[in-house]
Amino acid sequence: MLRHTFGTDLVRGRGDLASEPVDLVTVVELMGHADINTTRRYALPTEADKIRALKALTTDR
């Protein structure tokens, strides 16, 4: 559980570890994963992420 929290907090930029999201390639290196797909599980979008993305697409600029 600790590794999962570490990875998720880095990718999301939350907690005491990161005030801003850390790019996925850097998280791969920090966690020692050989394959980026192993790390991608920490970067799955939440429902709020999906809604925010859709709103950004439909906002008049």
- Domain locations in the chain as residue ranges: 2-58
Contacts of 12 (CB under 8 A, 6+ apart): 18, 21
pLDDT along the chain (61 residues), means of 10: 84 85 94 94 86 82 58
| pTM score of the predicted model | 0.70
What per-residue string of b and e applies to 24-38 under the rule 16 or more CB within 10 Å gives b? beebbeeeeeeeeee
Phi, psi of 43 (to 5 degrees): -110, 15
pLDDT of residue 15: 79
Which residue is listed with tokens 């929290």? 5
pLDDT of residue 61: 58
